[in-house]
Amino acid sequence: MVNLKITAHGGVNEIGGNQILLEQESKLFLDFGISFSTQKNFYEFPLLVPGSLTDLINTNLIPNLSGLYRNAGISPIYDKNNLFIDVSKKIEKEENYAGVLISHAHVDHYYFFTLLRDYIPIYLSSLSKRIIELKDETSYKNWRGDSSNINLNALDFSRDLILKEYTIKSFPVDHSLPGATAFLISINGTNIAYTGDMRFHGIRGETTRTFKNYLMNHDIDVLISEGTKLKPEKTKNDDPYTDSKNILNSEQEVKEKFINLVNNEKNLVIYDASYYDFDRLKTIWKATIECGRILILPSKQAYFVNKFMSEDYGKDFPDLKTVKILLNSNKGRINQREKDILESQGLDNIYFESWKKYRKTWEKELMNLILNSDQLIWKPALGEILDDPDKYVVFVVDGARFLKDLKKSTNNIIGTYIYGKAEAFDIEGELKFYKLKQWVNLCKLKFKYAHSSGHLSEEELARFIDDISPKILIPVHTEAPERFKKILGNTSINIKLLEKKKTYQFNL
């Protein structure tokens, strides 16, 4: 018999913020992400943001546990003239942590792992590790630090990982970004499975089926399962953005619908996808070539793809030579020569872009690598796209911003805007979507959808759980945990709904 304690420090009754602590002899965290809802309850970018570990603990964004954080117990010392002179260190003693397993590279699953102390090993797939490293390399840094400050261990899928009393099998699964992983954790023959986020209908759906089959062939004591697509009953049908008729059933259907929309458009096509959904990028890129058009790719996505090219995951992307690359906006400090030009015209300052100067290192690296400079498009020349609108598909990740820039270049935009992102699941998401629609209307573009979800549908989830038949089911990553009871109907599975931060003891 195994006595296991489980505490969800985040990730229950909400989508995201997974921080699930297993405790037996030692402690093991499943994910260590940021809770969007808690963050939004207390903070607002850019003026009200957490600035220290204490802020994060006080607002429940991270658990208040000793021995966990690298800068805990350190505070500045000032002298009588209020000058900072030293730091006091009350280093907390090390606790018995076996490690942290990260399911995938979405921030709601990993964001706060940079705060953890070095003696706590962190494991994740090599692709998740790579995506997080590239994200950090191409983003602004803050006091939280990034993956370059910590040791990340890449999982070896071909063998068990032993962390103290936990024997861990890792399974690649399909999700809306590559590298997602599910886990089966065994303690003396007691099995705990954790899904992370997953789906069957992506281009790597087979991997999720392999995970499921493995679980079906073993006795699963506890299944900790995501339930993103389960919605509280009252809001199920009254939200136009979650209307299921806009969501397709597979990536293949996304491709077919996209090709159809492109073939019916004689002018510009814009496709709006999530930042790190590189499988979708691959689909849209290949389909764009099939349609005889050229894909215009944001420089950040092109930079990632170029890095992936030399690695296993990048092998079946089309050649980077087939795209045009849209450079970031780049406003630099004004120098004397530029100041003189402006002054000679009687001007103080105007906004203008700088082609190369002040560009970020990663973007310069990409620009140097592209031998044919015709491949590069920068914001002042954006209007050129519209000289031959039927030649291109523009791939965007921040659609409203792109339309703002495009509108600056020309007044006359004709074309189709295809939305390929997850449906909004909260009020902020809806507001963002509303603003995007305003820009689409301002540009007089047709608005269409071509998207399939990153998660299991309600029916798939019910079937998945039923087929595995765990003794205990713990819903996470869902706003409607009580709905699991409804979708599973008359079942012998003990569905255990956890309260956030409350510790539950299981005798398994």
Residues that bind Zn ion (CB under 5 A): 106, 197
Give me the least distance between CB of 104 and Zn ion, in Å please: 6
Least distance from Zn ion to the Cβ atom of residue 94, Å: 31
Single out the residue of 50, 12, 3 nearest to residue 31, CA to CA.
12
**Residues 6 or more apart in contact with residue 224 via CB below 8 angstroms:** 6, 20, 30, 192, 193, 194, 195, 474, 476
At residue 400, what are phi and psi to the nearest 5 degrees?
A: -60, -40
**Shortest reach from residue 131's CB to Zn ion, in Å:** 12
**139 vs 260, which CB is nearer to Zn ion?**
139
Comparing CB distances to Zn ion, the nearer of 473 and 476 is: 476
CB 26 → Zn ion: shortest distance, Å?
27
The CA-based angle 37-28-100, given to 5 degrees, is: 70
**Which CB, 197 or 221, lies closer to Zn ion?**
197
Output 95 or 426, the one with its CB closest to Zn ion.
426
Nearer to Zn ion, 197 or 423 (CB): 197
* C-beta of 221 vs 458, nearer to Zn ion: 458
Residue 254 in tokens: 């996304």
Decide whether 197 or 265 has the Cβ nearer to Zn ion: 197
- Shortest distance (Å) from residue 242 CB to Zn ion: 17
Closest CB 12 distance from Zn ion, rounded Å: 16
Q: How far is the CB of 7 from Zn ion (least distance, A)?
A: 21
Cα 110 from Cα 118, distance rounded (Å)? 16
Contact predicate 272/397, CB 8 Å: yes
CB of residue 219 to Zn ion, shortest distance in Å: 28
Shortest distance in whole angstroms from residue 468 CB to Zn ion: 21
Phi then psi for 21, rounded to 5 degrees?
A: -105, 120
CA dist 457 → 244, 247, 414, 486 (Å): 10, 11, 35, 14
Beta-sheet strand order (sheet of 294-298): 376-377, 323-326, 294-298, 392-396, 268-273, 415-420, 446-449
DSSP letter string over 396-412?
Answer: ESSHHHHHHHHHHH-S-
Report how far residue 378's alpha carbon sits from residue 328's, in angstroms, rounded to the nearest whole number.
7
**Nearest residue (CB) to Zn ion, 179 versus 415:** 179
Strands (E), 227-375: 247-248, 268-273, 294-298, 323-326
Tell the smallest beta-carbon distance from residue 228 to Zn ion (Å): 8
Tokens of residue 351, six digits: 């906004």
Q: Please, what is the minimum distance in Å from the beta carbon of residue 313 to Zn ion?
A: 17
Distance in angstroms (rounded) separating the CA atoms of residues 64 and 133: 27
Q: Give the contacts of 161 (CB within 8 A, at least 6 positions apart).
A: 123, 155, 167, 168, 169, 170
**CB closer to Zn ion out of 106 and 169:** 106
Whether 131 and 179 have beta carbons less than 8 Å apart is answered as yes
Query: In terms of CB distance, is 259 or 424 closer to Zn ion?
Result: 424
Give the C-alpha separation, 273 to 4, whole Å.
41
422 three-state secondary structure: coil
Q: Which is nearer to Zn ion, 197 or 272 (CB)?
A: 197
Residue 162, phi-psi category: left (phi > 0), alpha (psi -120 to 50), beta (remainder): beta
Q: Are 423 and 306 in contact (CB under 8 A)?
A: no
70: left (phi over 0), alpha (psi -120 to 50) or beta: alpha
